[in-house]
Amino acid sequence: MSPGSLPADPGLLHRFRQAGEKIAWRSADRATASLSPRRARIAHLHDEESRVEDLEDGRGYCVVTDSGPVGALVLLLEIDRRGPPDRLRTHDAGELPAFPQGALEAVWGGAPSQPERGLPLLDLVKLARYALA
């Protein structure tokens, strides 16, 4: 799979990209910001929000989002832009302090540092469809 080749038909992919253009971004509240070096933002679309933290360093790029539809859409758009991640996984509720309801994570570059709970890309596509309301 290369950039722009998600497991979605062209019409659905077009709708994902259109929805991505409508995402309103704002900085995360400092009171709820994690202590990590990641940049924290809030993605808002259709009365739903998702916390998004990302970090780019010399080893690679990592994005962590809330585990809802808007978070899934943000990850899909990043996968559409960058190509398939080296790691796509979930985090259980409470595992990451900044994501009390659970999280989705995609990593490009770098080696996995924890045991995998892989997330099939098709499941991410199905979840992101709910953000298209």
Please indicate, yes or no, if residue 22 is contained in any of the structural domains.
yes
Please indicate, yes or no, if residue 1 is contained in any of the structural domains.
no
The predicted model scores a pTM of 0.87
Please indicate, yes or no, if residue 5 is contained in any of the structural domains.
no
Please indicate, yes or no, if residue 73 is contained in any of the structural domains.
yes
**Tell me, what's the pLDDT at 100?**
94
Please indicate, yes or no, if residue 2 is contained in any of the structural domains.
no
The structural domain count of the chain equals: 1
| Closest C-alpha to 77, from 112, 124, 117 | 124
Segment 89-112 mean pLDDT: 90
- Domain carrying residue 41: 10-132
> For residue range 17-42, what is the model confidence (pLDDT) as tens digits?
999 999 999 998 765 555 566 789 99
Cβ within 8 Å of residue 29, ≥6 positions away: none
> For residue range 41-79, what is the model confidence (pLDDT) as tens digits?
999 999 999 999 999 888 899 999 999 999 999 999 999
Please indicate, yes or no, if residue 63 is contained in any of the structural domains.
yes
